[in-house]
Structure 1
Amino acid sequence: MSTKMFVDNAKVMSKGQITIPKDVRKVLGVDPGDKVTFIVEGNVVRVVNAASYAMQVLQSQMLGTAESEGILSEEDVADFVTELRSEA
């Protein structure tokens, strides 16, 4: 699907379940067995790929950590990894 915006519908079943439409699953990058996260802001609900969302949250929480530890370049990262491996 090449468009950036589209509308799709799903029917809510008696137990509150829905089937995520195929085109929406494709956009979310979810397959059978994957999880989705519901983000509720007022009366607006966003559905996102749970793994992608978890990574975004982690990245935002870690923002600035490398700099505060003095890791400023790829060489610093390589040195840090080497140091960690030698401790193991």
Structure 2
Amino acid sequence: MDLAKVTSKGQVTIPIDIRKKLGLKNGDKVLFVEEAGRIYMINSSMDAFREAQMEFAGEADRVGLRDDEDIVNMIKELRKEGVVDR
């Protein structure tokens, strides 16, 4: 367990062990989430990435992409059509 002091401006220094566990670097943003009476601090970039993963879940199956070769072929086809630049 780590302890941090709150300044008069409401600022805290996140202990280095916690920053490492959250993958936080200088300039990163953190997200505070309340859930079941507890407050969680989350790396906002990682949370956005997880949300994007959830949104895209099942899309590969929906469009018939089964493996890397299917993806490469799809990109080649899109390039032929001029939809994707090289």
- Structure 1 length as normaliser, TM-score? 0.81
Instruction: Give, in whole Å, the separation in 2 of the partners of 1:35 and 1:85.
Output: 36
Instruction: Give, in whole Å, the separation in 2 of the partners of 1:84 and 1:51.
Output: 29
> What is the aligned-residue RMSD (CA, Å)?
1.4
Matched, 1:19 2:13: yes
1:85–1:45 distance in 2 versus 1, CA, 3 Å: farther
Matched, 1:42 2:23: no
Aligned-pair CA distance for 1:84: 2.7
For 1:14-63, what per-residue CA distance to the aligned partner results, in whole angstroms no more than 9, with x for missing partners?
Answer: 22211111111111111111111222213212212211111111001110
Q: How many residues align?
A: 82
Structure 1, gaps ≥5 residues long: 1-6
Comparing 77-86 and 28-37, the one that deviates more: 77-86
- The aligned residue for residue 72 of structure 2 is 78
Instruction: Give, in whole Å, the separation in 2 of the partners of 1:37 and 1:82.
Output: 39
* Runs of 4+ residues deviating >4 angstroms: none
- The aligned residue for residue 63 of structure 1 is 57
Aligned-pair CA distance for 1:74: 1.3
- Structure 2 length as normaliser, TM-score? 0.83
Instruction: Give, in whole Å, the separation in 2 of the partners of 1:85 and 1:12.
Output: 54
**SS at 2:4's partner residue?**
coil
